[in-house]
């Protein structure tokens, strides 16, 4: 039993008010006792000798007067080897092991160790007795998948330390002491392969935070060319239900040129989360030829779970991302969907009886969202190594209304906006990112001049298309009709991409530059059509040829033959 115990003074859903005698701290973890079970909770507000706690479990059965044990520790995660391939809930409970213990229906108050205590890891020391180290420095490594997992001096240890002893090469469990260090006051401390870190505090043990510049190549043409994302950058994907947010995230997970992928299903519907859990182990990582799960972590929190767990899943995911960034790795964090996290904040704010903001969201919604995205970034360390955390969050505005508070608060802090369109989704134009409404502040993989020309043609072609809906084809000139045909051609062969085709599903930056250069020649060409019907027939045939071209390996004969055929077709009518 804890030495600091309070008593429940009030219950409102998953919010409990606790009266305490000894001091408690903000974000401290506490356990509400109900029979033999202990329900994990977190202090979110303190007033006098009362604290408001959000409970991460169903609170049925709790009553006024029940004891609450304060742990004296903040809400934290375990960091160490074995995180990759895992599926956790928002509190970092390993769900497969939890299911084995509890069966189909998870029990309240059951919390398991996030890392396997019995598995051994082949440890290789990186320091010797007498060396000086500080927080974040590696004392050794263990292999984890395709990476060397650094065993680092705990991030919470302040000051410099002298290595007194480090174990030799061998297989050890994560709880085994691997080094003894002495601080500047002469006190000895022992470290294992596991450390803990509070999820609400960023890990910032780096020398310099760099401006996002190098592109994070997703191999999705519409993204990399028109609305790119930078390593260490941020972007959001708002869109109505069914517009393809989850599929787009899965495609990005598989093809993005990053080291580690973390998926935070923070309140997504249970059916979509199950689909993610089923499909990810089946996805083949093009980098290794093995399962994509070998360099993936999934934080699973469905919309049917307690709302407070949505918030913990977001912070757990970003803390794990920062941990792997400390190893000089590039990490992609995908949060799906931040709207339901915001809804959880709204619900808790209402129970706390705070003054509401727009649409009853808390007045501090914008600052909370900004603080989350600000934990992204590309950083440089003292050894000149770099690492990055790139954050992409989906937003699910009701009715696809991008003017609602969550979308607008997100747009103020992200560097790229990939707005999904219901019209494009209904027309089966995938990815359904609207090329006219979306934007990016990052640098494209193609040159600026032809890119701007393509954007202009897309805008003008859309205007002609809208005009033709009113006045018909006969109401526009042949020149305007050709602009419309060029825009439709570019959309069909470049903006749209077949996620299920072995070749077309992923287009390297090199291929994007080459193909876009060829298409730019078509966009700049002066065609000599006298009739609209012949122009339409030509562009329909050219579209089929270029789509076939997209399905050919770049270094194969078929690629060159299709390219020559396209060149011959264009030269005949210019």
* pLDDT score, position 2: 57
* pLDDT score, position 511: 97
Q: Is 402 annotated as a binding residue?
A: no
DSSP one-letter code for 184: T
Mean pLDDT of 99-106: 80
Topology of the domain covering 120-194: OB fold (Dihydrolipoamide Acetyltransferase, E2P) (2.40.50)
Q: Is 158 annotated as a binding residue?
A: no
Contacts of 362 (CB under 8 A, 6+ apart): 345, 346, 349, 354, 356, 368
Instruction: Sort strands 296-302 and 439-440 into parallel, antiparallel or unpaired.
Output: unpaired
Q: Is 239 annotated as a binding residue?
A: yes
CATH numeric code, 5-73 = 2.40.10.170
Q: Is 302 annotated as a binding residue?
A: no
Q: Is 65 annotated as a binding residue?
A: no
CA angle 317-323-325, nearest 5°? Answer: 105
Residue 1 — very low, low, confident or very high, per pLDDT cuts 50/70/90? very low
Residue whose token pair is 């992204």: 376
Q: Is 402:420 a contact under the CB 8 Å cutoff?
A: no
* pLDDT score, position 66: 96
pLDDT digits (tens, 9 = 90+) for 374-386: 999 999 999 999 9
Residue 304 — very low, low, confident or very high, per pLDDT cuts 50/70/90? low
206-440 to CATH, choices 3.40.50.300, 3.30.360.10, 3.40.50.2300, 3.30.390.50: 3.40.50.300
Extents of the domains making up the chain: 5-73, 120-194, 206-440, 448-572
Closest CA to 262 of 331, 339, 336, 338: 331
pTM summary value: 0.95
pLDDT digits (tens, 9 = 90+) for 278-292: 888 888 888 888 888
Give the Cα separation of 360 and 376 in Å (integer).
28
Do the domains 120-194 and 448-572 sit in the same CATH topology, yes or no? no
Q: Is 244 annotated as a binding residue?
A: yes
Give the Cα separation of 82 and 115 in Å (integer).
6
CATH top-level class for 448-572?
A: mainly alpha
* pLDDT score, position 24: 95
Q: Is 492 annotated as a binding residue?
A: no
Q: Is 243 annotated as a binding residue?
A: yes
pLDDT digits (tens, 9 = 90+) for 201-241: 999 999 999 999 899 999 999 999 999 999 999 999 999 88
The two most distant CA atoms of the chain are separated, in Å, by: 89
């Amino acid at each position: 039993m804890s030495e600091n115990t309070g008593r429940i003074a009030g219950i409102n859903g998953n919010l409990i008010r606790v009266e305490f005698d000894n001091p408690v701290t903000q974000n401290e973890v506490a356990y509400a006792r109900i029979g033999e079970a202990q329900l994990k909770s977190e202090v979110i507000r303190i007033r006098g000798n009362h604290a408001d706690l959000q409970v991460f479990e169903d609170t049925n059965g709790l009553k006024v007067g029940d004891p609450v044990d304060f742990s004296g520790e903040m809400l934290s995660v375990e960091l160490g080897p074995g995180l990759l391939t895992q599926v956790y809930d928002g509190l970092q409970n390993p769900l497969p092991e939890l299911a084995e213990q509890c069966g189909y229906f998870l029990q309240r108050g059951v919390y398991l160790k996030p890392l396997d205590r019995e598995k051994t890891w082949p440890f290789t020391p990186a320091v010797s007795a007498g060396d000086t180290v500080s927080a974040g420095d590696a004392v050794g490594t263990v292999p984890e998948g395709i990476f060397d997992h650094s065993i680092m001096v705990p991030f919470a240890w302040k000051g410099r330390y002298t290595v007194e002893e480090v174990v030799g090469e061998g297989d050890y469990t994560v709880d085994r002491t691997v080094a003894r260090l002495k601080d500047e006051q002469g006190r000895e401390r022992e470290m294992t392969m596991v450390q803990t870190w509070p999820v609400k505090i960023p890990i910032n043990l780096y020398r310099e935070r760099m401006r996002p510049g190098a592109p994070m190549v997703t191999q999705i043409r519409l993204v990399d060319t028109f609305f790119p994302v930078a390593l260490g950058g941020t972007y959001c994907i708002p869109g109505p239900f069914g517009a393809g947010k989850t599929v787009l995230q899965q495609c990005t997970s598989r093809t993005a040129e990053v080291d580690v992928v973390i998926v935070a299903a923070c309140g997504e519907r249970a059916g979509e989360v199950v689909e993610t859990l089923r499909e990810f182990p089946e996805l083949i990582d093009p980098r290794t030829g093995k399962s994509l799960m070998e360099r993936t972590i999934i934080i699973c929190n469905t919309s049917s779970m307690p709302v407070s767990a949505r918030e913990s899943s977001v912070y757990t995911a970003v803390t794990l991302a920062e941990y792997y960034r400390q190893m000089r790795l590039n990490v992609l964090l995908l949060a799906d969907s931040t709207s339901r996290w915001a809804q959880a904040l709204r619900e808790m704010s209402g129970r706390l009886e705070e003054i509401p903001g727009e649409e009853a969201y808390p007045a501090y919604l914008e600052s909370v969202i900004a603080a989350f995205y600000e934990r992204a970034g590309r950083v440089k360390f003292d050894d000149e190594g770099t690492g990055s955390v790139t954050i992409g969050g989906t937003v699910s505005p009701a009715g696809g209304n991008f003017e609602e508070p969550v979308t607008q608060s997100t747009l103020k802090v992200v560097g790229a906006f990939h707005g999904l369109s219901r019209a494009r989704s209904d027309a089966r134009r995938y990815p359904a990112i609207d090329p006219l409404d979306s934007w990016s502040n990052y640098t494209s993989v193609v040159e600026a001049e032809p890119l701007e020309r393509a954007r202009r043609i897309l805008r003008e072609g859309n205007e002609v298309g809208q005009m033709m809906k009113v006045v018909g084809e006969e109401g526009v000139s042949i020149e305007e009709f050709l602009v419309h045909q060029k825009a439709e051609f570019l959309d069909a062969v470049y903006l749209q991409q077949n996620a299920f085709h072995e070749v077309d599903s992923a287009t390297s930056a090199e291929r994007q530059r080459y193909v876009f250069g060829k298409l730019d020649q078509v966009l700049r060409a002066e065609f000599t059509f006298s009739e609209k019907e012949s122009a339409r027939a030509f562009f329909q045939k050219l579209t089929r040829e270029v789509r076939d071209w997209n399905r050919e390996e770049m270094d194969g004969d078929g690629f060159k033959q299709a390219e020559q055929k396209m060149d011959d077709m264009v030269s005949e009518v210019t």
